[in-house]
Amino acid sequence: MNLMNSLENNETKKLKKPIIAIVGRPNVGKSTLFNRIVGRDQALIHDRPGVTRDRIYADATLDNRSFVVIDTGGLDISPKDNIIANVRSQVNIAVNEADAIVFVVDAIDGLTPWDIEVAESLRKSGKLIYLAANKSDNEKRAEGTVEFYELGFGEPFPISAIHGRGVNELLEEILFQLPEIEIEEETEIKKPIRIAVVGKPNVGKSSLVNAILGESRVIVDSRPGTTRDAINIQFSKDGVDFEIVDTAGMRRKKKIFDEVESSSVGKAINSIHRSDIAWVVMDATEQPGQQDKEIASYISRHGKACIFVMNKWDIVEKDHRTFDEFCDFIRTEMALLDYVPIISVSALESLRVNKLLELTQIIFAEYSTRIATPLLNRSFGDIILEHSHPFISGKQPSPKYITQVSTQPPTFVIFTSYPELINEPYKRYLINSLREKFGFQGAPIVLHFRSTKSKDNSDSSQHSQ
């Protein structure tokens, strides 16, 4: 559920608890792990395979996070009787219900053909899968779990369900990638898409707002500085609600001498903070300058989506190459904002103003997009395989996995070794690769880097572009 569809009344919200299913072949300690997680002996435990047949559900908590855990029967890929076939059916139901799967293997037995078959079956689910090598009761067994890499689920978690070793670390990683999700109980209240119309003085911001509305709602004058306040106007177009804010022209600070103008620019900045999308309006008869770049960079740094609007296109002397040349100039001057779309309009002629609203809806959708974690990590695996981070002082950061923690703007956490060594070129590579895979047109992408070491889960760095 994206933020546009969130409910304003907190009393009508509730949180969906993440569901974690414990799956594996018989007698690897699934029920022992289940009991360890829920903190009581709810599941029957016996060293004879096949004791657990039905799905068993229980609520559990870790560090004030609530979740549901499901114990399942031993997964036999080739059942020979109806009871075992029913167990497999129960496991499949649990897998379908789950947000994440803990695939339990036995560190004493090592990798078995049965484990490989179970892995192939689970891989088809497309769910987030964590590999837990149970019975890793000492360092020697924990070190021996490397053979489970062959299953293709990344680094195994060495745990001991009986002694509790490594169980909390496993759960912490799972719950971090499963954010609490608000679900609706009553009627949704949709918020309008908020647009801040910003730019230098006298580029036609108010004229553009009037063209969008089809009426003279704001004062238009050829003299710069006519608009002093930030003017909020709500309207609907084709069933979509918008709130558009016309703002004062934003000049460079050293050119602002008037106290009223200074206050107006402050309100324009505040409008950017409250917006979902900012239209950076530029005069198409002039080349974009440093102030245009600073305005756009400010918008990006504060996590807002953006569109470059080239106004007064009707009076530009042009041929079939003019728009492309204009875009090339902007891309060269604002290279770090190459994700921002560019549209040419004429407020006076109402040229492409409806297209601008259509593009705004597209960008808002990109800004609000959430990528499913399994799909995200499959693509991320390709990204880091294609280009690895260089060694720095003999150490090489090695990203392991990624999760999206929020939208508006799209925000991701990447777990990696040596997060403090991730350099700027590699951060830009990761962001550009995510754009190639998933779009996010017009929206800045925010990356946080965290250590893969369980004892160090603090943010070490942040990057956005």
Domain boundary pick from 349, 367, 385: 367
> Can you give the pLDDT at residue 264?
43
Domain extent, residue 445, equals 373-464
If asked whether residues 260 and 308 sit together in one domain, one would say: yes
Q: Are residues 106 and 144 in the same domain?
A: yes
Residues 324-361: b if buried by 16+ CB within 10 A, e if exposed = eebeeebeeebeebebbbbbbbbbbeebbbeebbebbe
Same domain, 217 and 169: no
Query: Is position 284 within any domain?
Result: yes
Tell me the two tokens of residue 412: 């991701």
d(CA 306, CA 300): 8
Say if residue 281 is in the same domain as residue 323.
yes
Q: What are phi and psi of 87, to 5 degrees?
A: -60, -45
Same domain, 429 and 335: no
Cβ neighbourhood burial of 95 (10 Å; 0-12, 13-18, 19+) = buried
Number of domains in the chain: 3
Does some domain include residue 109? yes
In a domain, 27, yes or no: yes
Which residue among 367, 400, 422 closes a domain? 367
**If you write DSSP's letter for every residue of 50-85 in order, what string do you get?**
T---S-EEEEEEETTEEEEEEE-----SS--SHHHH
Q: Under a CB-based contact definition with an 8 Å cutoff, are residues 149 and 156 in contact? A: yes
Query: What one-character DSSP code corresponds to residue 18?
Result: P
Whether 2 is in a domain gets the answer no
Same domain, 42 and 149: yes
Identify whether residues 333 and 312 lie together within a single domain: yes
Residue type for position 8: E
The pairing of strands 411-416 and 446-451 is parallel
Q: Rounded to an integer, what distance in angstroms lies between the CA atom of residue 462 and that of residue 422?
A: 10
Same domain, 228 and 362: yes
Q: Specify which residues 448 forms β-bridges with.
A: 413, 462
Query: Could you tell me if residue 10 is inside a domain?
Result: no
- Are 150 and 198 in the same domain? no
Residue 3 lies in a domain: no
User: Do 204 and 223 reside in the same domain of the chain?
Assistant: yes
Tens digits of pLDDT across the chain (465 residues)? 333 333 233 334 456 788 999 999 888 999 899 999 988 654 444 444 443 445 677 888 888 788 888 888 777 655 554 444 556 767 787 888 888 999 999 999 999 988 998 888 888 888 899 999 999 999 889 988 989 998 999 889 999 999 999 999 999 999 888 866 555 444 445 789 999 998 888 888 888 988 988 864 443 344 444 333 445 778 888 888 898 887 765 555 444 333 333 434 566 677 788 899 999 999 999 988 888 888 888 899 999 999 999 999 999 988 889 999 989 999 998 988 999 999 999 999 999 999 999 999 999 999 999 998 889 999 999 999 999 999 999 999 999 989 999 999 999 999 999 999 999 999 999 999 999 999 999 999 999 999 887 444 445 556 666
| 452 in any annotated domain | yes
Please report, for the domain that includes residue 141, its CATH number.
3.40.50.300
CATH number of the domain enclosing 402: 3.30.300.20
What number of other Cβ atoms are within 10 A of residue 228's Cβ? 16
Q: What is the per-residue pLDDT for 54?
A: 53
Domain membership of residue 223 (yes or no) is yes
Q: Which of 350, 367, 384 is the last residue of a domain?
A: 367
Q: Are residues 97 and 216 in the same domain?
A: no
In this structure, what are the phi and psi dihedrals at residue 202, rounded to the nearest 5 degrees? 65, 30
Are residues 301 and 227 both part of a single domain?
yes
Q: Phi/psi zone of residue 339: left (φ > 0), alpha (ψ -120 to 50 degrees), beta? A: alpha
**CB distance 101 to 74 below 8 Å:** no
199 forms bridges with which residues in the sheet?
281
